[in-house]
Amino acid sequence: MIQRGVAGAAALALTPGLVRALAPATASGRTRTPLHADRPYLVTAMQAARWLERTAQRRGAEISWAADPDRPAEVQYDLYNGTTGVLPFWVELYAATNEPRALEFVQGSADHLVRAVEMVDKKDAGLYTGLAGVGFALGLAYRVTRDDAHREGARRALTLVQDGVRRTEDASKPPRARWADSTDIISGAAGTGLWLLWAERELGAANTLELARQAGWALMDDAQSVAPGQLRWKVNATIAREYPNFSHGTAGVSFFLARLYQATREPAFLEAARAGASYLQAIATTIANDGRMVYHSTPGNEQIFYMSWCHGPAGTARLFRTLGAITREESYARYVDQLAAATMAMKVPERSPGFWNNVSMCCGNSGVSEFFVARHTMMPDAMALTYAERMAQDTIARATSDNDGMRWVQAENRVSPEAVVAQTGLMQGAAGVGLAMLHLDGAINRRRRAVVLPDDPFA
């Protein structure tokens, strides 16, 4: 566990300006959170915020970011590593600190996205790649800003998603809804469907639940039967390789179908989700301490194991957590424990197979931290919190910190470890690392999260 004291804070090299920015004060009736030496994760998030502020691009009141600040012309609008994914960090930071500067960045980046929604590829309804992500970020911003333009921007994204749907009509079957050919959480129908469920709850939008239902039926058509009671999904029909875990495969699609069952109570969706879980259990590897983990991909990568959100236990656990909540069957809750046991048995964050120079939400430390913070808040479990702090300690140790703040120079892809860069975004950059730090600080200080992504079942 990281030491929460003067030594731990000193290692973060706080600047006088940063200390002044977080000094106790009142603004518009809201009280700022004081900066204490025993809040190392809040301090780390503020240092990440400092770097994000330094790398921000301004156009009047609008604010945006390039994923790589050294390539400023390449501003993107995806939730994965674009401006869209930086915005949630500022929302959480404002919730944690009541700092007006954070609210300024929520407002400015949302103002930019309202205009940028028209620039997003209308064919891309993806949660982490396209319009669904933009709609989520704008809806999240509206909760904080109460700016009608932000709510209307979110609704505009929804309209574009609805307009872009491709339906298959058959009088003998429920209608099917598709956008791109992908099935997955990142860019496909599973991720878009999760956002539609979110929009139905958060925006009060009409017909979104029905559209999510139609996406679910299309995904059921895409399922491949492997054995009795077992289903799997590939990214799409043109990709031969199968990625069974959360971001691109069976775990993510099954998770959406389980959430869809929660919203519709249609048994077929739950049956398919359970069949996906059975398939994952059938192909899982058993390791020390009765741990379970599912390989990265097949064919050829059956001995490569990732450990975080995208292809590892931290992501796949979301399916089993949800099935356990729905069915109340102890076996599903037990499987979440086994996925956690595998993560610890693989000695994350030490260097191990499938875990490389990466600390981010998608592939590295931060995604693992989020999983164990969630375990702590569900139980509560002091051991899980200690393990999340171990992730954070390692992440802080790997940071580059100077007068510009804190960032993480890392490799995004395992197959090109020499390609290292400090990115700004949610799933591969400082915004995501900062968000994980804020969630950890919140767990320690009993503060509810402000940011819950559409694919997160733990809140």
Mean pLDDT by 10 residues, the chain (459 residues): 30 39 40 65 97 97 97 96 98 97 98 96 96 98 98 97 90 89 97 97 92 97 97 94 98 98 98 98 97 97 95 98 98 98 93 71 97 94 95 96 96 80 97 98 96 94
| Per-residue model confidence (pLDDT) at position 18 | 40
Q: What is the pTM of this model?
A: 0.91
Residue 107 contacts residue 147 (beta carbons within 8 Å): yes
- 348 φψ region: left (φ > 0), alpha (ψ -120 to 50), beta (else): beta
Distance CA 146, CA 129 (A): 26
pLDDT (0 to 100) of residue 417? 76
Distance CA 415, CA 398 (A): 20
For residue 391, give the 3-state DSSP assignment.
helix
200 touches 263 (CB < 8 A)? yes
Strands (E), 97-192: 166-168, 176-178
Instruction: Based on DSSP, count helices (H) and strands (E) in the chain, helices before strands.
Output: 16, 14
Which residues, in sequence order, are CB contacts of 59 under 8 Å at separation 6+? 112
Query: What are the angstrom distances between the C-alpha of 278 and each of 292, 319, 437?
Result: 13, 11, 34
Q: Is 66 helix (H, G, I), strand (E, B) or coil?
A: strand
- Report the distance separating Cα 368 and Cα 315, nearest Å: 9
- CA dist list (Å): 152 to 85, 136, 197, 383: 19, 12, 18, 43
Amino acid 237: pLDDT: 86
Residues 252/263, Cβ–Cβ less than 8 Å: no
218 beta partners:
none
* Cα separation, 24 vs 1, whole angstroms: 28
CB 316 within 8 A of CB 372: no
Q: What tokens were used for 116?
A: 């940028």
